[in-house]
Amino acid sequence: MDSFEINKIVACVLVVALVFIGLANFGEILYHVEKPKVAAYQVEGAEEMVIDASMAVAEESVPAEPAVSIQTLLASADIEKGAKVFKKCSQCHVLDKGGANKIGPALWNIVNKDIGAKEDYKYSNAMAAYGGQWTYEQLNGYLLNPKKYIEGTKMSFVGLKKEKDRANVILYLRSFSDAPAPIE
């Protein structure tokens, strides 16, 4: 075997190796699958659900802090839409004057009232100890994500993710009072 033949053999081996590598990459290109950016099982409008403790999973998707000031939102809120939103609350709350507590405390005259302070209702320790008043800001924060806003609250409600829903329902709550609190 002379050196010319050895060269040919070496060249052959190299060509085979190159073709092999090329094919492998080509396969990658053909069969490479992009992972979807958004998981297919995400549920739109999950915040619409009224949940009980057994369905508490959806809570994680709700942000912790409201983005826009509630005063700004209240200025353009719609009380009739608020009445509709309140249907989500009405399984646990009544608004009428002198209304009885249900699963949750009665909410007559709730704006600016002391938090967790109804004598005839047994609050969670978390809410009883929270302190302060239900200002518009507090209501806005609590209703966005009750379990994050007051950790340990026993209100099993996922929260209202839409700013407008919160503003509308707060405007509606406000109207259940002999002297509704000023908006400012």
Give the binding site for ligand HEC (CB under 6 A): 50, 88-89, 91-93, 103-105, 107, 110, 115-116, 118, 123-124, 126-127, 134, 143, 153-157, 160, 169
Shortest distance, position 145 Cβ to ligand HEC, whole Å: 12
Shortest reach from residue 126's CB to ligand HEC, in Å: 6
Q: From the CB of 68, what's the least distance to ligand HEC, in Å?
A: 18
The alpha carbons of the chain give a radius of gyration, in whole angstroms, of 30
Q: Are 146 and 157 in contact (CB under 8 A)?
A: yes
Closest CB to ligand HEC among residues 145, 153? 153
Euclidean distance between CA atoms 172 and 81, whole angstroms:
8
User: Which lies closer to ligand HEC via its Cβ, residue 8 or residue 87?
Assistant: 87
8 Å CB contact between 147 and 59: yes
